[in-house]
Amino acid sequence: MPLYPLLRPLLFRLDPERAHAASLALLRFMGAIAPLRALQRLVLPPVHDPLELLGLRFENRVGLAAGYDKDARALAGLAALGFGHLEIGTVTPLPQPGNPRPRLFRLVEDRSVVNRLGFPSQGAARTAARLRRRPAGVVVGVNLGKQRETPVERAVEDYVGLVETFAPLADYLTVNVSSPNTPGLRRLETGQELGRLLAPVVRRRDELAGASAARRVPLLVKLSPDLTAEDLDAAVDAALEAGVDGFVATNTTLGRGGARSPLATEAGGLSGSLLAEAADAALERVAQRVAGRALVIGAGGVMSGDDARAKRAAGADLVQLYTGLVYRGPGLVSEVAAALTTRRAASAAGRAGRGPAPK
């Protein structure tokens, strides 16, 4: 959007969390008024490049990563920006405030963000009520997380309960076991623990579909970029054995390699440009391990169309962005979607003598 370079200095004068809340409120307002939604689409024409994955029709390959709209408050406004899918959450079973403020930091010199939000959530009931009024025409996924107070040993109860709530409402579900901001959560990501967690979650998903003759909602797992190669392989193998349908690679990182901003010392997960290299490496390994057996979504460090093409080259079927919106504005959505069009990919592959582009 041409106006965003003018608006960004004003937004950056605000505390990051206040600026985020303001942008979400604006999108919620615009999404509630049909002429304003039409104006959004006029200013930011959506990229029409439909494809089908997991039995779902995506308008294009770019999606909103979890974390921006945690409680499904601005779905219509976000859809009007031209996303092919929206992943909301992380949603927890009950309302919780998350970690104390300040908990969100812009690393401007690095085009990155550090957050230690800790799953602030209005809870499953309120989010589910909003999803019952969701806009048509855009794929909506729900990112699921355990309650902070729930012991890791009982986390499966939270995830099963969330599947029961959201399976009838979401197009897909993502099990989040990789946030660094909920104590003990990443313990669930190791191969053996992950398998024990996912088996009953997948079983309950299947039971719900069988009991109601409803569609079997796809189940994904979001992985960390901080796993060793061996642990990443083990996590993928355990998830596939449990019966998941896909992966989101990756979540934020605890690493700070290459950071220049003094705010890099703040605790929390890092996203944005500094995450790209680690996220792409993990994504490529996940895609190679999956070998076409499941969907792979690439997330982390998508700040341009070139970054999105790098995700595709590493094996992503779809890409997601969030921090890029902070630095580039909503025009990034159409830029990334255009960069990932099947037509463009096929043309580039043909010029390189590689034949048709991958699915």
Catalytic residue among 23, 121, 179, 273: 179
Strands (E), 48-98: 51-53, 56-58, 62-64, 85-91
Radius of gyration of the chain (CA): 19
Which candidate, 8, 133, 128, places its Cα nearest to that of 79?
133
Verify whether residue 23 is a known catalytic residue: no
Separation in Å, CA 148 to CA 70, 105, 178, 243: 16, 22, 14, 26
Amino acid code (one letter) for 219: L
Which candidate, 85, 54, 61, places its Cα nearest to that of 217?
54
Q: What is the DSSP letter of 46?
A: P
Contact yes or no for 287/316 (Cβ under 8 A):
yes
Separation in Å, CA 111 to CA 18, 272, 282, 301, 324: 18, 6, 21, 9, 8
Task: Give the dihedral sign, CA 257/263/266/270.
Answer: negative
Query: How far does Cα 300 stand from its chain's mean position?
Result: 9
Q: Quick check: helix, strand or coil at residue 142?
A: strand
Q: Which helix (H) or strand (E) holds 124?
A: helix 124-131
Q: Which residues are catalytic?
A: 179
